[in-house]
Structure 1
Amino acid sequence: MPLIDRNTRGVYVIAATPFADDGALDLGSIDTLVDAYVEAGCDGMTILGVMGEAPKLSPEESRAAIARFMARAPKDFGTIVGVSAPGTDNLVRLAHSAMEAGAAGVMVAPIPGLALEAALVGYYAQVCEALGPDVPVVFQDYPQLTGVKVAASTILRLTRDYPQIVMLKHEDCPGLSKLQAVREGSGTADTPRLSILCGNGGIYLPQELQRGADGAMTGFAWPEMLVDVCRLHHAGKVDEAEDLFDAWLPLIRHEQQPGIGIALRKEALKRRGAIKSAKIRAPGPSLSAADLAELTRLIARTEARVAAIGGRTGGKLAA
C-alpha cells in the first residue's frame, strides 16, 4: 500500500470498529465496512482512532483488526493506524506491527500532561527516534481530547525537525486561523510542506479547505459527502462544494453531539448495510427509541434535500 507523504490529500475516513451484539470483534463487518468506504470513493481510511474505540480493544484484538482491515483494502487504498498510547514502548510495537502489515503511516496524539513546548517536542523526538526514519507520522492535534494546546509554530518546528511527521490531523477548535498559519508556514524555504487533513466530524470542512486543508480525516457516516465536497473544492468549484455541504449539514451537526455521536454514526452505518450491529463496548452511550425515531426522520429529510440538488446519498437504509 502507498505511504502517506507531505502531499497526501483527499479523504481518509475514520473507520468504526465493528462489534457483534455480544461485544465480540466482528471481522466480517470489517470487510463490508471497507467495501463501503471504497465504494464511496475514499482515498484511504484511518483505523483504531477515537471513533474506532481503540482503548477498548485488547492488544490481540488490535492486531487482528489491523490485519483484517489491511487484507480487505485494495492495494492503492492507504490505511493509517492510530497508535497513540500512554507508554512509548507499546506505541512503537503497535506501529511497527501495523507497518509490517502494510500501513500507509501511523497517527500519534500527544499524551496528556505535556503542558510545556519543550516537553511536547521532547516526547515526539523520542517517538520519532524509536519509530525510525521510514515510518510516516500523522500529528493529531486534538486538544479537546488530550488537553494539550499546541501552537502553529510548534507544529511547524516538529515537521521541520522530524521529517517523519508528514501530516497534521487538524482538530483544534476554534482553529481556522491556526490551520492557515500552518499552511502558510510550511512549504517554505526552511520548512517542508505539511499535508493537512481535518477532523471534528467535518463540521467546518468548507472553511478548512478554503484556508488550505488538503482534505478530511473524519468519521461521518456518509463519507461520499466528504469525498464530493473535497473533489468539488479541488476542482475549483468552491461554491458548489459548500452548497453540497450545506445540504448535509443537519446530519453532520447531529452526529457531532458530544456523548452520543459515535452511537449515531454506528446506527447509521448499520442501516446502510456497512456493519451488522451498532454495538458500542462499555462504557458507552446507547440510543433511546426517541433518538432512533429522530435519526430516521432526519436522514429522510436530509437525503431528500441532497437528492434534490443532485448529490449522492449512497447505500441502503432501513428504519
Structure 2
Amino acid sequence: MTRLTEQAQGVYVIAVTPFKPDGALDLDSTDRMVDFYLEQGATGLTALGMMGEAPKLTAQESLAVVERILARIDGRVPLVVGVSAPGFAQMAELATKVMEAGAGGVMIAPPGSLKTDDQIVTYYKQAAEFLGDIPFVLQDFPLVTNVQVPVSVIARIVNEVPTCVCLKHEDWPGLEKITALRAEGTLDRRISILCGNGGLFLPEEMARGADGAMTGFCYPEMMRDVVRLMQDGQSDRARDLFDAYLPLARYEQQPGLGLAVRKYVLAKRGVIASDTIRRPGAGLTPAAKAEVDAMLTRQENRLKELN
C-alpha cells in the first residue's frame, strides 16, 4: 500500500470508469487506462470521483473497479477513492474495504445539507471518527455540492482533524483561497493542496502555492508538464504549453458534457475501447464530435510550433 500523506504533489488523475457499449463494466479498458495514466506521469490516481460516474455504480461494481485499478497499479502510486455517502455507515464500510484492498486514502465531499461553519466542522470530525486512521482528502467543490467552505473552516478541520492530509481545491473563483491557506499562521501544519476544475486554472493555482492537480483531462500529460515546469520556475514555458491545450480544456469543462468529451478523446487515443456514458447520460452528437476533432487538429499544430 502506498499511503496518501501531506506531501502529495504532482498529478492525481481522476480516472474515468470505462463501460462497454451495453453499459457493462469494461475492466480490460480499465487496465489500459491505468497503464496510460502512469505512462503519462501520474503521481497518483483517484477513483469513484464525480467524473468517474460513481453514483451510477452498484456497491459491488465500485469495489470491483477499485480492486482492478489497484491490481494494475501494483503499489507504484497511491490510489484515492471517493467514499462520499449519505451516511457515515456506508462511508466507513466502503472506506474500510478499499483500504483493505490497498488504497492509499479516501476523498470526502460535504453533503448539501450542511449550512453553517460549525456543521461543516462537526461533519468532518464525525467522519474522521468513523474512518479511524484512514487519511482523507477534503473535497471543496461548492459549484456542485452547494456548500461554501471558507478558509477559516478549512483551517479548523486541518488543525483539529489530523487525518485530513489533503485539500482538493475546486472553488471558483478560488485563487485567493489558496493564497490565504498558504499564508503563515493560517494552518498549524502544511497539507497538500491539489486542484480540480479540469486544470483550467492550473498555472495560476501552482503560482499561488498549490502542489499539483487532482482532476481529469483527456491529455493528462499537459497537467504533468505544467506542474513540473511551474515547480522548476519555468512559468512562461508552462503557460505557453497550457495555452496550446486551453481550447480543448475549456470545451471539456462544459457542465453536463465534459465527461462525454473526455471519454470520446480517450477512446480516439486508444485508451478505452468505447466512449459509452452509463445512463442517465448521453454521448456527443456528430456536430460536437466534429468540433472536438477540429480542436485536436489545431492543438497538434500548436504543439508542433512549441517544439
Q: With structure 1 as the length reference, what TM-score do the two structures score?
A: 0.94
- In 1, Cα distance between equivalents of 2:242 and 2:135: 31
- Name 1:191's counterpart in structure 2: 188
Answer yes or no: is 1:124 the counterpart of 2:121.
no
Which of 244, 262, 268 is the equivalent residue of 2:259?
262
String of CA shifts for 1:93-125, please: whole Å, max 9, x gaps: 111111111111100000111010111111111
Partner of residue 19, structure 1: 19
Q: 1:275 maps to what in 2?
A: 272
The residue number in structure 1 matching 2:41 is 41
Instruction: Indicate if the aligned counterparts of 1:183 and 1:194 stay in contact, CA closer than 8 A.
Output: no
Are the aligned partners of 2:143 and 2:171 in contact in 1 as well (CA < 8 Å)?
yes
Q: Name the CA distance, whole Å, in 2 between partners of 1:36 and 1:67.
A: 17
CA spacing shift, 1:190–1:87, aligned 2, 3 Å: closer
Alignment correspondent of 1:80: 80
Partner of 2:178: 179
Matched ranges for 1:149-168 at <5 A: 149-168=148-167
Deviation for aligned residue 1:286: 2.2
For the 8 Å contact 1:46–1:80, the answer to whether it is kept is yes
Q: Distance in 2 between matches of 1:307 and 1:154?
A: 45
Aligned residue for 1:212?
209
d(CA) in 1 for partners of 2:205, 2:187: 24
SS in 2 for 1:8: coil
**What SS does structure 1 have at the residue aligned with 2:139?**
strand
Give matches, 1:47-58, under 5 Å.
47-58=47-58
The answer to whether the Cα contact below 8 Å between 1:259 and 1:285 also exists between their aligned partners in 2 is no
CA distance in 2, matches of 1:274, 1:111: 33
> For residues 93 and 301 of structure 2, what CA distance do their matches in structure 1 show?
47
Q: Per-residue deviation at 1:62?
A: 0.4
Q: Following TM superposition, where does structure 1 have runs of at least 4 consecutive aligned residues deviating by more than 3 angstroms?
A: none
Q: Which residue does the alignment assign to 1:288?
A: 285
Please state how far the C-alpha of 1:126 moved relative to its aligned partner. Answer: 0.8
User: C-alpha separation between the residues in 2 aligned to 1:251 and 1:261?
Assistant: 10
Residue by residue over 1:206-246, the C-alpha shift from the partner in whole angstroms, topping out at 9 and shown as x without a partner, is: 00000000000111000000000001111111111111111
Q: Which amino acid counterpart does residue 18 of structure 1 have in structure 2?
A: P
- Alpha-carbon offset, residue 76 of structure 1: 2.1
Q: How far, CA to CA, are the matches of 2:292 and 2:233 in structure 1?
A: 33
Deviation of the 1:307 alpha carbon: 2.5
Q: Structure 2: any 5+ residue segments left out of the alignment?
A: none
Match for 1:64: what amino acid? A
Contact 1:199–1:216 (Cα < 8 Å) also in 2: yes
**Partner residue in 2 for 1:112:** 112
Displacement of 1:284 after TM fit? 1.0
Identity %: 51
How much is the aligned-residue C-alpha RMSD, in angstroms? 1.1
**Conserved? CA contact 2:181–2:187, under 8 Å:** no
The equivalent of 1:233 in structure 2 is 230
1:143 Cα offset (Å): 0.5
Structure 1 residue 201: deviation in Å? 0.6
Secondary structure in 2 aligned to 1:13? Answer: strand
Which consecutive residues of structure 1, in runs of 5 or more, have no partner in the other structure?
A: 311-319
Alpha-carbon separation, structure 2, partners of 1:189 and 1:167 = 15
Change in Cα spacing, 1:221 to 1:162, as seen in structure 2 (3 Å) is: same
CA displacement at 1:59 relative to structure 2: 0.2
Deviations 1:3-53 (A, max 9, x none): 111121100000000010000011111000001001101101100001100
Distance 1:209 1:74 in 2: 29
SS of match in other structure, 1:213? coil
Tell me which amino acid in the other structure corresponds to 1:265.
R
- Quote how far apart the aligned CAs of 1:189 are: 9.1
CA contact under 8 A between 1:83 and 1:94: conserved in structure 2? yes
CA contact (8 A) 2:31 2:69 kept: yes
Q: Is the 8 A contact 2:83 2:108 kept in 1?
A: yes
Specify the alignment match of 1:223 in structure 2. Answer: 220
1:183 Cα deviation after fit: 1.7
Matched pairs, number: 307
Q: Determine if contact 1:49/1:81 at 8 Å carries over to the other structure.
A: yes
AA aligned to 2:164 is: I
Give 1:190 deviation, angstroms: 6.2
d(CA) in 2 for partners of 1:282, 1:8: 34
Report how far residue 74 of structure 1 moved.
3.7
In structure 2, the residue matched to 1:315 is: none
More deviation, 106-115/278-287: 278-287
Opposite residue 128 of structure 1, the aligned amino acid is: A
C-alpha contact (below 8 Å) 2:180/2:186 kept by paired residues: no
Aligned-partner SS, 2:166 = strand
